[in-house]
Amino acid sequence: MKKILALALVFCLVAAFAAVAYADNPVVKIGVFEPQSGDNGAGGKQEVLGMQYANKMTPTVEIDGVTYDVQLVFADNASSNDKAPTAAQDLISNGVSLVLGSYGSGVSIAASDTFLNAGVPAIGVTCTNPQVTAGCDVYFRICFLDPFQGTVLANFAKSELGASKAYCLAKLGDDYSGGLCNYFIDAFGKDNCVYEQFPEGTSDFSTYITNAQNQGCDVFFSPVSTEAAAQIIAKADTQALGMPILAGDTWDSNVILNAAKGTDVRICVTTFYQEGANAEFDAGIKEWINSDATALANNGGNDELAAVTVMGYDAYYVALEALKAAGSVDPEAVLEVLPGVTYEGVTGNIAFDDIGDALRDSAFVKECNTETGVWDFVTVATVG
Partner 1 sequence: MGKTILPYIISGISVGGQYALIAIGYTMVYGILRLINFAHGDVFMVAGLMMVYMAAAMPLYIAIPLMIVLTVLLGFLIERVAYRPLRTAPRMSVMISAIGVSYLIQNLALYITGGLNKNYPSIPWISDRVHVLGLETSRVTIITPFLTLLLVVLLVLLINHTKIGMAMRAVSLNFETSQLMGIRINNVISATFIIGTFLAAVGSMLFFTNYPGVVPTSGAMPGLKAFVAAVFGGIGSIPGAVIGAFIIGVAESLIKGLDTILIVNGTITEQIGFATFSDAFTFVLLIIVLVFKPTGLFGEKTTDKV
Residues that bind partner 1 (CB under 8 A): 1-4, 36-38, 41-42, 45, 78, 172, 194-199, 201-208, 210-211, 214-215, 226-227, 230-231, 234-235, 237-240, 255, 258-259, 297-298
Least separation in angstroms between CB 297 and partner 1: 8
Is residue 8 within 8 A of residue 36, CB to CB? The reply is no
Least separation in angstroms between CB 108 and partner 1: 19
Nearer to partner 1, 261 or 324 (CB): 261
Nearer to partner 1, 114 or 254 (CB): 254
Q: What is the C-alpha to C-alpha distance for residues 218 and 86, in angstroms, rounded to an integer?
A: 43
Nearer to partner 1, 206 or 379 (CB): 206
Nearer to partner 1, 240 or 283 (CB): 240
Q: What is the C-alpha to C-alpha distance for residues 246 and 222, in angstroms, rounded to an integer?
A: 6
Is residue 248 within 8 A of residue 270, CB to CB? The reply is yes
Is residue 108 within 8 A of residue 124, CB to CB? The reply is yes
Beta-bridge mates of residue 269: 247, 366
Least separation in angstroms between CB 368 and partner 1: 16
Nearer to partner 1, 188 or 352 (CB): 188
Nearer to partner 1, 180 or 323 (CB): 180
Is residue 377 within 8 A of residue 280, CB to CB? The reply is no
Q: What is the C-alpha to C-alpha distance for residues 127 and 122, in angstroms, rounded to an integer?
A: 12
Read off φ and ψ for residue 291, nearest 5 degrees: -90, -10
Nearer to partner 1, 25 or 258 (CB): 258
Least separation in angstroms between CB 198 and partner 1: 7
Least separation in angstroms between CB 280 and partner 1: 30
Least separation in angstroms between CB 20 and partner 1: 30
For the chain, state the CA radius of gyration.
Answer: 20
Q: What is the C-alpha to C-alpha distance for residues 337 and 335, in angstroms, rounded to an integer?
A: 6
Pick from 182, 171, 165, 139: which is nearest to 357 by CA? 139
Least separation in angstroms between CB 4 and partner 1: 7
Nearer to partner 1, 41 or 121 (CB): 41
* Per-position DSSP letters for 292-309, written without gaps between them: -HHHHHHTTSS-PPPHHH
Is residue 257 within 8 A of residue 373, CB to CB? The reply is yes
Least separation in angstroms between CB 39 and partner 1: 8
Kindly provide the residue ranges of all beta strands, DSSP E only, lying in the chain, ordered along the sequence: 27-34, 60-63, 66-76, 98-100, 122-124, 139-141, 166-171, 193-198, 219-221, 245-247, 267-271, 343-345, 348-350, 362-369, 374-382
